[in-house]
A and B are shown apart, each in its own frame.
Chain A
């Protein structure tokens, strides 16, 4: 045996031992551990021996095998675009009036996404058209007919808007699921307007739909402080029904109604507020359980929503020179103009930041704010520690950044598998693997004798390598993945069939055992290589275009084919060479 052989032999022993070592976390996770703890990495780590690989390298079971929900949410960018076009139309009309160019009415066609401007005086339309097209660069002219001008949003703007809408929706969904405390949740973008969510272990699809299906709406609205005592007077002149827990509380000189029930507050105030005003509540978080509200307080807001989260360009939290936590927000150009107008008109009033019909905060407007940048300084009221306020600032920045969902989200796809079905599928899949593998092993041993048994050893090693490879890449084993596993073993053994047939052929030409084995491997190599490459091409394309379980199939196929190049060529050759060269055999059993 030459040095080269010993090197290869050492490599094979090392790979085999390494593979077995690498499968220890998987063994513990699937066999030793409790079923319920399958996804609990910390518990697995605690059970693993110190010398084993880290728990994160365990074989993941796909949602179809362990039970859980796979969802694809579609972001309804169409509705969002309609709303946006309409809002821009209104802005154009205001702009035309402000610049004294004339008077136009804006009408939106929700189907075609077109904006029709109609001038009161047709003579003014030429000037209006020129100015509007120069100022509102995100619109293109479609048609002009006398006093009417038809515009449509610019393609690249629409695409950018779409992309942003999906990104923001994703952030919101991730944040909401995080609140649920679901372990191992996976949220990712799918195509241009969809979001894919995997929730292992969850079983109620309708509940999950609720979680992600509701839309968050961020609004900036003015608080009506014309009568700061409004709620106190209402409470006195028109007291709530007996037995109600509604009380009057005061913060910063503004009396508010407070109750443990939001509905009670809304019902009590219904019909008792001035026209064009609306009562919106604020949730006072339970200090012990942050996801719950211990009580609600009321605000009287203008009904008009002048600015929504769509106009927000960014938000972040910081600490100012006075060591006060603050939230900095930036608006896009259109939002900045609107915000400047709003603050100019509302100096001395409060502006409420409303998310999902809940007043998040209502800072005071101290002066007109231009330039599209605003600062909300925290911690000037209320008895909270500096750290708590800083935390609050960070949360608010996050809410501002992620909370505004410019587009409604709908469910595109839900796949839910119950845990008991998953168990059954694992059992059946395991049996299918054993039967398929057993038949192939038996056939090879009978047909090629010793060479067949050598191929069998390689095949078993290949199977272990696939499992270890899946664990290493943190890929998941799915039901189609099991099918891919079986199929890959069938393809892997093809390589040994080709080699052994070639050796037989060389022997029949009267070559010596040594020469036949060497030539058999050399000549079959490129055929096997080509066959593997073509199968790999199909595998990779399947991987990049497939989702969920199909991707699991592709992963298994790819890992299996790569492993097969090693096991069926290198491993079998080293063993064969040992029998032929090492033992100096005159014959070879194929």
Chain B
């Protein structure tokens, strides 16, 4: 993975903006930002102080060529996809999509922050639901709770006990999912064929970009 990182760094040298424009999805929008800060002001996660940099800064840092800081930043992973920024941007920059594009690129070249909860969830969720075509809630929760070790996992599980029982009672959670007896979609093969084709197309597009 880091090979790809080095390849890209070498190819674009100091022009990180160009790298993002060509490699990250929607990256071509970065140059259109006019630094008004409306996205940062509109972001609900802003008030949680949970990010390294607001979107306005991320855009500016890309232009200033701060490659490592941007790619390793947790900012893009904190996005809740509420689309406030996208709706409000006076320049009609699809900020949400740009953030996702940068996040995906950082992950692809192995530069995204390690053990980042939302990144972990994304990956787990994807793997979980593509297996049977439906989400296995018990396994998904397990994987999320126990990501930081058994102790932390048990603690979290105990905290959420009441919620889980409530869900079971309301028939929203099937405890049997834990042993693999879970709801599935009718045509798993069809779904997987579809996903495989999508993956193939995506890989093809990215390979072309990486070559270009």
**A and B: real partners?**
no
Chain B interfacial positions (CB closer than 8 Å to A): none
